[in-house]
Structure 1
Amino acid sequence: MNFKENCKRLLLFSLFLLFVSGVSAQIQVTGVVIDEVDESPLIGVTVMEVGTQKGVITDMDGNYSITVKDENSRLSFTYIGKEAKTVRVGNRRKVDVTMGDQANELNELVVIGYGSAKKSDLTGSVASMKASAIEESRSASFTSALAGKIAGVMAIQNGGDPGAGINIKIRGASSVSAGTSPLYVIDGVLMENSQSEVSGASRMGDTSLDPMALINPNDIASIEVLKDASATAIYGSRGANGVVIITTKSGTKDGSTQLSFSADAGFDLLPQKRTYALSGAEYENYMRLRFPLPADFVPGESTLAGNTALGWNPDGTPKITGINRVWQDEIFRLGVSQNYNISLRGSSKKNTYAFSLGYYDKTGIVKNSDMNRFSYSMKAESTVNNYLKLGMNLSGSVMVNNGIVNATNQTQSNIFTQMLIFRPNITDREIEDSTDADDPGSSWNNPITNLNSVVQRTDARRTQGTAYVIVTPSKHWTLRSTIGGYMTDAKSKNFYPSTSGMGRVDKGRASHGVARTTNLLNENTLTFMKTFNEIHAVNVLGGITFQRTIFDNLTTTTTGLEIESLDEESLKFGANILPPENSYSYYSLMSYLGRINYRGLL
């Protein structure tokens, strides 16, 4: 071994030691980020190693895990509305952080029940989300925008259709028999997120629509989420699951006039990695192994039937079709969304006004799933004199949704189950002729036939309006009286032909349903505000409210369709008319409310 070879080996060994020491110096740091206000975990906090591009975000429980260079590394924690923090790792392997509100936001006014207050004066847990954050989400519904943006709020979508129902849970509220949906207050009008409002006839697959998708997120100025008992107490038992207060945009405050237009488009991309499923050749080989030729089979004399015929030709030779359908590629597509909004906002010395129009269109990544929405809003307020102010809000929307069967527990009807387990060697003619059922007595069907023939369409309309008068007899007393409400109309038409998995047993099935929800509200509140000796600030609120909510729906279904060419309009051609389902219910509430806030020195 010569001197040159020894030098090479020594150099390589030195480089190896240097690499090992560099790798071993890295440190794994974990921790949890907590909200200083209510001690709840913060979701979506950005955790970065200072001076690098390495970073992570906290999960649903506020936890994070990051690998840093060494003990001298520093971690920065940033979150919208919170003071940023920078922490040195040192010899710790677990770094927990508490984040407080930004100082400039403590003086910000937030909407609470029947009033507003500075963040610094709040005694309950209230989280706020402004218009910019809502618009950035580009969601069909503001409920989707809440996911991951506000600590302690979970948004769970119950289907993959555009506009599918979303279950909101605040601080993990759960119940065996009662609902877990929070109370929504939209420009002072109380409503519950009842998905029955936008579903006339029930769809196959236990899917539902989100009634909040009828509200244009671009019209929203702010969302406040009241999370604890102190904040929601004024709403009584209805606020037990939390309260979501939505305030829509008003006119300007500086006398200017603003005309704005926005247009954007988005795309939902398919996952690059497909879920594994048998190819055509693998399926045929599997069927031959599972259903071998009968021992007494004689070519030319014996007849093959049932599952055996799926792997063998009539002459006893292995069936090799050469057909390989990837169902995932045939039912998926590129999802596209378009959103257009135009608004006019302005004010004069004594008046403010705001008008807006919006159009939203979204096609899902599954073919034949889509939704579109047209919305409008008008808002005006006039100061008559020093003692009297009048105002009105009017908004509405029209939504059309086409859905697919995608959330049923019956595997034969679930299109996503079908795309994974239905045989991949089916011919085009079998699809066109719909002669592709593995078992004609069951609901098995290929996903393309179900996708192209099943109709689940819902048309929904919503109108909401309020009018109010504010009387200020003195600078300390304010009387406000509001009358308003909303009405939602929904009509659903569902069609499951005899060639589809869901309609084969019924020899065709069609159903139509209509639903109307009417909500009437009157609220009267009196507020006293005064500061004594520049130290003691008192805010006293008292009021009485009246509310009446009416639910009315009717559904009719027929089976054994003699004519199916009219699709969802084939209802009257059913040989069997099932008993109509109808219901009418209402409830009325009269509530007394009161609140006392004190700020000062005792």
Structure 2
Amino acid sequence: MLIAIFLTVTSTVFAQSKSIVGVVTDETNQIVPGVSISVKGTKTSTQTDGNGRFKIQVLSTDQLVFNYVGYASQTITVGNRTTLNVSLKSAVTGLSDVVVVGYGTTKRADLTGAIGSVNMKDLEQAPVKSFDQALAGRVAGVQVSTSDGQPGATANIVIRGAGSISQDNSPLYVIDGFPSENANSNSINPSDIESIDVLKDASATAIYGARGSNGVILITTKKGKPGKPQLTYNAYYGLQKAPEKIPVMDPYEYVKYLRDLDQAIADSTYLKGGTTLNDYKNVQGLDMQDYVYQTGQNQNHDIALRGGNDKTTYSISGNFNDQKGIIIYSGFKRYQGRFVLDQQINDKLKAGINVNYAYSESFGTPISATNFYASSVLLYSVWGYRPTNALSGKDANSDLLGGLYDPANEGNSAQDYRVNPLISLSNQQTKYKTTNLAANGYAEYAFTPKLKLRVAGGINNNVNETNIFNNSQTQSGSKWNSSGPNGTIASSPVFNWLSDNTLTYKNTFNEDHNLTVLAGYSAQRNKSSFRSIYATQVANESLGLDALDLVPAANTVISVNSSRWTLMSFLGRLNY
């Protein structure tokens, strides 16, 4: 009898619960708010507060499971402890990682399609202005190329090779759920990006229909996290230089080449009055690359404030990027801001908004501009500019830097349209401005923990503005061009709205069977237009673009066009 009572009392004492407290930090000893802490095998759970602290009722035999996005899960047995401090370690990419797919997320182990993910830590170390440049070399099967190194130029992205030899091979971009065939990469600050996933094959892109035939790039931006407000500032400054100049002929080599090419011109211009070829060996040559190239500069400033509590999270961020190209009078500037708010209204309903505004401008003569004659391209004049004038005779007084036209080239009838690139660059006005406003909102209602309805909508308004003026001291407005001094003013606004509605059922049976069923309806409308005025033979060129309205109608071309399209889709997916 005594033995039975003793065993009963002992069993009762052993089963008593206790409170355990602690602090959760990361590898750098920084507190981690919002960490999910649960008792394994039960429904008991809590999370760390803004100071990384937690308190939970447990038994000595219980195991606590610590989970947080981006960190490896940890399971710890309580034992006799009443205080438990935990240090989380960054997760290594593996089969348990969650990746973004069309209209949802899934574990990498459950993937059936080809999906590549960008290592965001590597991307954050890349001093680039936009995500398209950061993608280069970071995802297998994704080719990133640019037409030139012009500041502000966007990259061309092709996934798994070109699918057509006549049509556009650009992928579909889905930014925070908003699909677009021609996303403006300059409007997104790379520091605002949480994840980038690339859908490559047909099974992965099928939910987007024909629009995803060239692949899909899914971009998710950062949101606020529960905890104390965290203010971060990041800046960098860098220099850019042309790695090597193109070797060009010195005065001796040039005169020798010209003599071999046309003895008469060489004798009448460079070898007059007893001047010999060897006299040019000690002449300092002119290399126009020394005047057209410069040390480029790139500065970037990011500031962000993020925080919240278990009900409300917020994120406010801003960016300023300023670049000066390695070609004089070229550059790029961007001013960008983003606001994100998520609210847990009650146990079943949550909602949020995500607003991004960006203004950017790029300026400078495009160095890869296509012309009918190669000699009219900028770098042709840079590399082909003669390195010296004559040491005697009329040409000895020629000012190779001061005039637009080379006197030695006046009589050339071989369609040689070279001009002084230094003069041309300093007089040409080329500026492209872009204003972008993107706003998304959503509401999500959980009928049950397994069945959720998500209603989302958004707008995207993008306006591109072009201002170009070529006066008579530029290559495009020179006497070589029949248009004479000319100018262009153009505007191309594009407005999109989107409505997405999805119903998702997610359940796990017997721990080994995962079932996800998604059904949805999507509608999108696009309105775009283009309006421009192009004027030639501008008489009052000192007024610049303000003189275009003074040009006679015969020398003016006005272009106006617009388009509308609407897309409605029904979609569904079953994963087991």
Fold similarity call, TM over 0.5: yes
- 1:357-396 pair list within 5 angstroms: 357-396=318-357
Report how far residue 502 of structure 1 moved. 1.7
CA-to-aligned-CA distance 1:278-320 (integer Å, 9 cap, x gap): 1233223332333333xxxxxxxxxxxx88754355x686697
Partner of 2:468: 494
Identity %, equivalent residues: 33
Unaligned runs of 5+ residues in structure 2 are: 1-69, 71-90, 390-396
- 1:122-133 pair list within 5 angstroms: 122-133=111-122
Contact 2:150 2:366 in 1 (8 A): no
CA-to-aligned-CA distance 1:434-474 (integer Å, 9 cap, x gap): 23262488632122122212221011110000111111111
Partner of 2:291: 330
Larger Rg belongs to: 2
Q: 2-side partners of 1:542 and 1:428: how far apart?
A: 76
Partner of 1:414: 377
TM-align CA RMSD: 2.3
For residue 486 of structure 2, the aligned residue among 504, 509, 512 is: 509
Q: 2-side partners of 1:234 and 1:351: how far apart?
A: 32
Partner of 2:556: 578
CA-to-aligned-CA distance 1:201-222 (integer Å, 9 cap, x gap): xxxxxxxxxx311211111111
For residue 467 of structure 1, the aligned residue among 441, 454, 458 is: 441
For residue 238 of structure 2, the aligned residue among 250, 266, 271 is: 266
Provide the TM-score with structure 2 as the length reference: 0.77
Question: Does residue 152 of structure 1 match 2:141?
Answer: yes
Q: 2-side partners of 1:428 and 1:131: how far apart?
A: 57
CA-to-aligned-CA distance 1:419-440 (integer Å, 9 cap, x gap): 1112222678453332326248
The structure-2 alpha-carbon separation of the partners of 1:114 and 1:275, relative to structure 1 and needing over 3 Å to count, comes to same
For residue 136 of structure 1, the aligned residue among 125, 129, 138 is: 125
For residue 186 of structure 1, the aligned residue among 169, 175, 191 is: 175
Q: 1-side partners of 2:300 and 2:351: how far apart?
A: 33
Question: Does residue 551 of structure 1 match 2:510?
Answer: no
Q: Which structure has the higher relative contact order (CA within 8 Å, separation 6+)?
A: 1
Report how far residue 120 of structure 1 moved. 1.1
Equivalent position amino acid for 2:558 in 1: P
Contact 2:299 2:321 in 1 (8 A): yes
Question: Does residue 278 of structure 1 match 2:237?
Answer: no
Q: 2-side partners of 1:557 and 1:310: how far apart?
A: 41
Question: Does residue 523 of structure 1 match 2:500?
Answer: yes
Q: 2-side partners of 1:154 and 1:456: how far apart?
A: 29
Contact 1:287 1:310 in 2 (8 A): no
Report how far residue 118 of structure 1 moved. 0.9
Q: 1-side partners of 2:405 and 2:274: how far apart?
A: 23
Q: 2-side partners of 1:130 and 1:549: how far apart?
A: 33
Contact 1:183 1:192 in 2 (8 A): yes
Contact 1:558 1:578 in 2 (8 A): yes
Equivalent position amino acid for 1:425 in 2: T
Equivalent position amino acid for 2:206 in 1: A
| Secondary structure of the corresponding residue to residue 96 of structure 2 | coil
| Secondary structure of the corresponding residue to residue 255 of structure 2 | helix
Equivalent position amino acid for 2:251 in 1: G
Q: 2-side partners of 1:455 and 1:436: how far apart?
A: 22
| Secondary structure of the corresponding residue to residue 454 of structure 2 | strand
Contact 1:130 1:221 in 2 (8 A): no
Partner of 1:215: 188
For residue 360 of structure 2, the aligned residue among 388, 399, 404 is: 399
Contact 2:535 2:557 in 1 (8 A): no
For residue 421 of structure 2, the aligned residue among 447, 453, 459 is: 447
| Secondary structure of the corresponding residue to residue 565 of structure 1 | helix
Contact 1:412 1:501 in 2 (8 A): no
| Secondary structure of the corresponding residue to residue 497 of structure 2 | strand
Contact 1:340 1:359 in 2 (8 A): yes
Between 499-508 and 408-417, report the one with greater CA deviation.
408-417
Q: 2-side partners of 1:428 and 1:255: how far apart?
A: 71
Report how far residue 405 of structure 1 moved. 3.1
The structure-2 alpha-carbon separation of the partners of 1:442 and 1:282, relative to structure 1 and needing over 3 Å to count, comes to closer
Q: 2-side partners of 1:569 and 1:105: how far apart?
A: 60
Partner of 1:423: 386
Question: Does residue 432 of structure 1 match 2:402?
Answer: yes
CA-to-aligned-CA distance 1:100-143 (integer Å, 9 cap, x gap): xx975321211110001111111111111243222211111110
Equivalent position amino acid for 2:486 in 1: R
Equivalent position amino acid for 1:279 in 2: D
Provide the TM-score with structure 1 as the length reference: 0.74
Aligned length: 467
Report how far residue 174 of structure 1 moved. 3.6
Contact 1:412 1:445 in 2 (8 A): no
Equivalent position amino acid for 1:269 in 2: K
The structure-2 alpha-carbon separation of the partners of 1:561 and 1:309, relative to structure 1 and needing over 3 Å to count, comes to farther
Equivalent position amino acid for 1:553 in 2: F
Contact 1:141 1:163 in 2 (8 A): no
Q: 2-side partners of 1:549 and 1:406: how far apart?
A: 33
Equivalent position amino acid for 1:456 in 2: T
Partner of 2:570: 592
Contact 2:472 2:484 in 1 (8 A): yes
The structure-2 alpha-carbon separation of the partners of 1:573 and 1:430, relative to structure 1 and needing over 3 Å to count, comes to farther
The structure-2 alpha-carbon separation of the partners of 1:177 and 1:596, relative to structure 1 and needing over 3 Å to count, comes to same
Q: 1-side partners of 2:410 and 2:268: how far apart?
A: 13
Q: 2-side partners of 1:308 and 1:503: how far apart?
A: 33
Contact 1:387 1:471 in 2 (8 A): yes
| Secondary structure of the corresponding residue to residue 163 of structure 1 | coil
Question: Does residue 236 of structure 1 match 2:209?
Answer: yes
Contact 1:285 1:311 in 2 (8 A): no
Question: Does residue 311 of structure 1 match 2:288?
Answer: no
Q: 2-side partners of 1:435 and 1:477: how far apart?
A: 74
Partner of 2:305: 344
Report how far residue 475 of structure 1 moved. 1.1
CA-to-aligned-CA distance 1:64-122 (integer Å, 9 cap, x gap): xxxxxxxxxxxxxxxxx9xxxxxxxxxxxxxxxxxxxx975321211110001111111
Partner of 1:21: none
Partner of 2:107: 118
| Secondary structure of the corresponding residue to residue 326 of structure 1 | coil
